[in-house]
């Protein structure tokens, strides 16, 4: 099997699975229980927070464990909007966000919030000036993803963070789900108030995640109940999942430097050889994140190519996994100004630290053969 759909999900690291199993077996008590066994679980949960905070260079009380990217994004966006609507109902995002952000903003529009959607250039990158110019006296939130999940475009979130710091009445949220372990991002003193991380994108387990919430940032909770997670996320904590997520985070941090370099080299191999394939258009910009390569093959349905490759045990994707079963064109490529033939025929190849050059070579040969065969059928 050659797995090149790592932006959808990654294979769990064996050490992550081991940490989950050990925590599940030894610390199954509810951390909220007042007996000694529950106290041991609570101590382990606090230790996991401290370790996560150390790895992210933030404070333990700024770590909120979640079920992943979708919940983290919704908690950040809706939590800010509902908590701070008394001082303004204007919120800002871009036209190329993940569906969990885009749909959250559309939901808030139904509740009477005024949303400004900032356009992007042909590479899928937003203008810092456009963001700055959109800020009003009643703006309470800016939400911009760090790395685009389809194209790999890197947004200038550091520069946006500096602008956000000049406006103390607004909060800045970054969806860092695709950036973690691929494009480093500093949180401390960055102007970023909220940041979403997902476990299953970094060889952790599905159903695990972190929302960084800067100290003294108030959120209206999505879940009400037992006031876990400082009242921001009620519900019995997923202790084993949180422990395993911290393990995944530590392993990624240890491998990040060499892993990024390795993926960048493979991406350049992909770019060089894909550019020579007849009928293939490369959509991913040169300065993109190292793990994503997006291409279009106008005239051919992407799902047909995906299934042809899948028959050979080679797995790639089209669009985001959250919207890949929808047959329409990529809204991301459309937002970049590309025509329907290009936006409706996009394919995404996404790498991990463990992807090999031999796998890339086999994939490229199989892709070339599949394209030629499918074109011959249509002629």
DSSP state of 11: P
- Measured CA to CA in angstroms, residue 347 lies from 51, 127, 216, 358 at distances of 37, 26, 42, 20
What is the helix (H) or strand (E) element at residue 341, kind and residue range?
Answer: helix 340-343
Query: With contact defined as beta carbons under 8 Å apart, do 142 and 93 qualify?
Result: yes
Helices and strands: H and E segment counts in the chain: 11, 12
How many Å apart are CA 285 and CA 152, to the nearest integer?
Answer: 8
3-state secondary structure at position 33: coil
With CA atoms as reference, report the closest residue to 293 among 245, 238, 237, 348. Answer: 348
Closest by CA position to 232, among listed 78, 104, 16: 78
- Rg of the chain, C-alpha, whole Å: 21
Question: Coil, strand or helix: which one is 279?
Answer: coil
Annotated active-site positions, please?
A: 322
Burial code (b: 16+ CB inside 10 Å, e: under 16) for 74-111 equals: bbbbbbbbebbbeebbbbbbbbbbbbbbbbbbeebeee
Element (H, E) at 293: strand 292-296
């Amino acid at each position: 099997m050659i797995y090149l759909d790592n932006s959808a999900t990654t294979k769990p690291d064996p050490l992550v699975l081991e940490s989950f199993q050990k925590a599940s077996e030894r610390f199954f008590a509810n951390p909220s229980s007042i007996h000694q066994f529950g106290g041991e679980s609570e101590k382990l949960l606090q230790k996991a927070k401290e370790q996560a905070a150390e790895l992210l260079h933030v404070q333990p009380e700024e770590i909120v464990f979640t079920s992943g990217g979708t919940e983290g994004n919704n908690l950040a966006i809706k939590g800010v909007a509902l908590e701070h609507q008394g001082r303004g109902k204007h919120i800002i995002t871009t036209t190329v966000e993940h569906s969990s952000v885009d749909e959250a903003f559309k939901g808030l529009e139904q509740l009477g919030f005024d949303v400004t959607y900032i356009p992007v250039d042909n590479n899928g990158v937003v203008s810092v000036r456009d963001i700055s110019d959109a800020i009003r006296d009643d703006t309470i939130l800016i939400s911009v993803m760090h790395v685009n999940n389809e194209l790999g475009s890197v947004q200038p979130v550091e520069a946006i963070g500096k602008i956000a710091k000049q406006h103390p009445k607004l909060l800045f949220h970054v969806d860092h789900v695709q950036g973690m372990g691929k494009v480093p991002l500093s949180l401390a003193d960055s102007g970023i108030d909220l940041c979403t991380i997902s476990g299953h994108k970094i060889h952790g387990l599905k159903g695990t995640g972190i929302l960084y919430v800067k100290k003294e940032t108030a959120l209206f909770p999505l879940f009400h109940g037992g006031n876990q997670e400082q009242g921001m996320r009620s519900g019995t904590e997923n202790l084993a999942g949180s422990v395993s997520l911290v393990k995944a985070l530590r392993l990624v941090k240890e491998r990040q430097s060499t892993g990024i370099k390795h993926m960048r080299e493979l991406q350049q191999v992909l770019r060089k050889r894909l550019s020579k394939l007849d009928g293939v258009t490369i959509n991913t910009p040169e300065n993109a994140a190292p793990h994503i390569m997006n291409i279009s093959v106008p005239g051919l349905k992407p799902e047909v190519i995906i299934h042809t490759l899948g028959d050979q045990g080679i797995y790639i994707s089209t669009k985001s996994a959250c919207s890949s079963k929808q047959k329409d064109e990529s809204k991301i490529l459309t937002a970049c100004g590309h025509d329907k033939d290009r936006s409706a025929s996009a394919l995404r190849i996404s790498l991990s630290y463990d992807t090999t050059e031999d796998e890339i070579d086999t994939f490229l040969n199989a892709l070339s053969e599949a394209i030629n065969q499918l074109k011959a059928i249509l002629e």
